Amino acid sequence: MRVKLENPILLSKAIELISELVVEVRIKVTEFGFSITAIDPANVAMVGFKLPKSAFTSFELSENKSEVLGVNLESLKKILKRASSSSSVILENKDEGTLEINIDDRVRRKFELSLIEIESEDKEMPSLDYSSKIEINSGDLIASVEDCSVVSDACTFSVKNKNFIIEAKGLNSARTEYSGDEVRIEGEDCKSRYSLEYLSKFMKASKMCDKTMLKFANDHPLRMDIKTEIFELGFILAPRVEVDD
């Protein structure tokens, strides 16, 4: 395998985001591009990442047309951070034990990343049924989640009377209500509660695009999707099913 990426900054940011949830991953390299699917150690959140073949300026695979790279994300993140927006990055799997990473700019720098064995089955993001779908301005979503983080460790997403509501209740409370004029709402009334610790991590991904897609149902996992001009990143978060604060 030998691939070349002209603008590595978004890939670097995506790897940094994923590394907040999982430490080690299997990167699948196929004729369609790169993909990662992983579950965090607490089995609360799942992340799916796709970097299509079209994002690369050069994409060469071995004869079997697919490879799996077991990597420590912290190590990969540190290497990718050494690249700038003017750099190009070449990833080459010369043997089964090492991934060679060349960063080309004014000069060429070479890193070698040791690949690791990760004992896990291939995963796919599950196809779940949702009763509501929300498309919201990412900046608005980030602000609402940050508001809730001030007063509690969990917040509620709900659709009621064609409005979308994000609220948290503890000793104090925070609430933001959006009408159909501010967000695109599809579906029926529903309500579910989620951890703000995880949502705050997801918000770092929302900062990378203008719009964020949310899907949820009553006491049901949340599906959050963002799409940039280069890659797709999706998250699934288990609900907090407990008595309201």
Percent of the chain with pLDDT over 70: 97
What is residue 52's predicted lDDT score, i.e. its pLDDT? 94
> Band of the pLDDT at 185, cuts 50, 70, 90?
very high
pLDDT at 243 over 70: no
Q: For residues 83-106, give the mean pLDDT.
A: 91
What the chain holds in terms of domains, given with CATH numbers, is: 2-114 (3.70.10.10), 132-208 (3.10.150.10)
- Please give the pLDDT value at position 245: 43
Q: Which residues 6+ apart lie within 8 Å of 57 measured at CB?
A: 4, 5, 6, 88
Q: What band does 241 get if pLDDT is binned at 50, 70 and 90?
A: confident
Under the banding of pLDDT at 50, 70 and 90, the label for residue 121 is: low
- Does residue 203 contact residue 184 with C-beta atoms inside 8 Å? no
Lowest mean pLDDT among 47-51, 61-65, 127-131, 133-137: 61-65
Give the sheet arrangement for strand 2-5, strand by strand. Answer: 58-60, 2-5, 88-95, 98-104, 108-114
Is the pLDDT at 177 greater than 90, yes or no? yes
Quote the pLDDT of residue 7: 82
**Contact at 8 Å (CB) between 167 and 148?**
yes
Mean pLDDT of 89-111: 91
Residue 51 CB coordination number (10 Å): 23
Report the chain's mean pLDDT, rounded to a whole number: 93
| pLDDT exceeds 80 at position 122 | no
Q: Is the pLDDT reported for residue 96 higher than 80?
A: no
